[in-house]
Amino acid sequence: MSTLTTSLADVASSDAALRAFLHGLPGVDRVGADQRAAMLGTRSIKTTAKARAIDLAISMVDLTTLEGADTAGKVRAMCAKAVHPGGEAPRVAAVCVYPDLVATAVAAVRGSGVKVASVATAFPSGRSSLEVKVSDTALAVAAGADEIDMVIDRGAFLSGHYLKVHEEIVAVKAACGAAHLKV
């Protein structure tokens, strides 16, 4: 295959190789980012440009409900707001719900162009077995999720168990099938 595939295989060969790769990535130019943000804050933006920018931002948002008390009725109401936010505002990009409410969201946004995303993989902590994470993902995808929002096992990552995290991402990506994966 390509050099990229070989390189990825080499990088994912051990915790040490992944650690070296991750620590070798360039950092963010904090000073440059702060200067750019300060400069943008002083610019005068015309009303029409502001309105277009707000509409663009709305069209990229995932409207989300992730409460333990979520119900099908609450999800349907959120989906109605996602499709018709009010006034002339555009619809949002997606709604995001727990896996057990994906089918409700899919039915509520059908035909609107709004995607359905689902948190999976033991949200919010990511602390569960790989089997549970893959099952959670497969259930959401089977119910119609267009996108899976994965939570990595932060404890494993912070402990330097990068290979475990990589293997989980690979397994969850396989369970996604055609659905998009965000990690």
pLDDT band at 77 (very low <50, low <70, confident <90, very high): very high
Whether residue 3 lies inside any domain: the answer is: no
| pLDDT tens readout for residues 132-169 | 999 999 999 999 999 999 999 889 999 999 999 999 99
Q: Could you tell me the CATH number of the domain that includes residue 39?
A: 3.20.20.70
The b-or-e profile of 106-140 (16+ CB within 10 A means b, else e) is bebbeeeebbbbbbbbbbeebebeeeebbbbbbbb
Q: Are 66 and 119 in contact (CB under 8 A)?
A: yes
Residue 4, domain member (yes or no): no
The pTM is what?
0.81
Structural domain count of the chain: 1
In a domain, 1, yes or no: no
The answer to the question of residue 161 being in a domain is yes
User: What is the span of the domain harbouring residue 16?
Assistant: 9-181
pLDDT tens, 49-59? 888 888 999 99
